[in-house]
Structure 1
Amino acid sequence: MPYITRWSEERSLDALVVPRHGGGIGYADEQVHDRDGNGILWGRVSHRPGKGRPEFGKVHGPRQRRAMRRALCQICAGPADRNRQGVLWLLGEDGNDPETWPTDVLTCHPPVCLPCATKSVGACPHLREGYVALRVRRFAPAGVRGVLYRPALPLPVMSEAVGVALDDPMVRWVRAGQLIVRLAAFSVVDLAEAAAQRG
């Protein structure tokens, strides 16, 4: 079961969202661990992996963020595959025309190890429709996906789901759920060939 997948017994935890002095939002009972090193407010989610049913398509935010920050495999939580060409990422994209790709890619999908990548392309319905394997030499946090709040009285109100850059002032109004990473200096690789070389 993918490490970042949410289980049915893992719930978003209630927290009263309040306006923050100087702008933005916070929790009425905010704790130090509710924000990351960039000052981003994160949604509270219980941690009960393996309890209930896996909810494919739903991501457990704290595990996703941990996998991104530590370059862990999103499936097994072990170290992502790394060689001289870079860290292995597997994206559900059409890799047939890399010439049309931008110079960098934004993603919420953490990297993978080679064994999990090989299994995933056969097991995941989304990846069976098309995928691209990348070796990434440079990557860094670029933003967050989450719920945007807007000012209102007496309390801020949820507005919409958004992706916001870390340097955008609007990020102060987001309750984050996933970390977005910018992949740069990457090359497209053949996953089957990489697996064969690893033997």
Structure 2
Amino acid sequence: MSRSSIAPYITAWSAEQDLPCALVERPDRSIGYASELLSDRDRHGVLWQQTALRHGVGRPEFARVHPLRQRRAMELLLCQVCGGPADQNEDGVLWLQRDCRGDWPQWPDGMASAEPPVCLPCAATATRMCPALQRGAVTVRVRDCPVAGVRGVFYKQSVLAPTAATAGNFSYDDPAIRRVVASALIRELRGCVIVPLEELSGTMT
């Protein structure tokens, strides 16, 4: 049995705990790590949560997402389940989302998503096996999905060291992002068309 059949690619394993990185104030009023490496920041200069990379070691912790693998899947448009290329055609990249069509009329157009896309085989598998998706899921073709920001924790100034204050989504043009430790990359979904999974499955036969 392959690892992808045990747990999704982006799932964190029990051996992949957060690393002890001390936060410090920087002269420009941003935050950083006391012993910071170039790899601790993304190409936009945002600081990222550092987590051990031991994929497949221990047990999968389905409630946690590994920051590096999530970021890689989002940057390269990889399937969040198997880690291979996400399905993509002239109608767009394939996303699998919990059904929230009651949220607004054009849902999910304009939605900020931290969930990476999927490939066709994994869309069907995830719909069958994921308890959250069994309560209602839709497959969506997305024509445009620009990287928009990060999900993370904002740290306020404190006497001894920066202190966690607020968790949320932060766009790259938000000045507050200079004090954020990111844990997930976000893409904005635009030009969305909901396509029934049955229609997509028919293209595989």
Alignment-derived partner of residue 25 in structure 1:
31
Q: Which runs of 5+ in 2 are unaligned?
A: 1-6
* Counterparts of 2:56 and 2:107, CA distance in 1: 37
The residue identity in structure 2 corresponding to 1:151 is: Q
1:109 is aligned, of 100, 115, 121, to 115
- Note the C-alpha offset of 1:95: 4.4
1:1-199 alignment, distance < 5 Å: 1-95=7-101, 99-101=105-107, 103-199=109-205
* Counterparts of 1:158 and 1:96, CA distance in 2: 33
The residue identity in structure 2 corresponding to 1:130 is: G
- Note the C-alpha offset of 1:138: 0.5
- Note the C-alpha offset of 1:98: 7.6
Q: Percent identity?
A: 45
- Note the C-alpha offset of 1:50: 0.7
8 Å CA contact 2:145–2:189 kept in 1: the answer is: yes
- Note the C-alpha offset of 1:23: 1.4
Alignment-derived partner of residue 4 in structure 2:
none
8 Å CA contact 1:98–1:188 kept in 2: the answer is: no
* Counterparts of 1:96 and 1:107, CA distance in 2: 17
Q: 1:20 to 1:124 in 2, by over 3 A?
A: same
Scaled by the length of structure 1, the TM-score of the pair is 0.95
Q: 1:95 to 1:103 in 2, by over 3 A?
A: closer
- Match of 1:148, SS? strand
Q: Deviations over 1:90-125 (max 9, x none)?
A: 011234898442641111000000000001101000
8 Å CA contact 1:136–1:183 kept in 2: the answer is: yes
Scaled by the length of structure 2, the TM-score of the pair is 0.93
Moved over 3 A (4+): 94-100
The residue identity in structure 1 corresponding to 2:133 is: L
* Counterparts of 1:72 and 1:3, CA distance in 2: 10
Q: 1:28 to 1:50 in 2, by over 3 A?
A: same
* Counterparts of 2:104 and 2:27, CA distance in 1: 46
8 Å CA contact 1:95–1:131 kept in 2: the answer is: no
- Match of 1:65, SS? helix
Aligned Cα root-mean-square deviation (Å)? 1.5
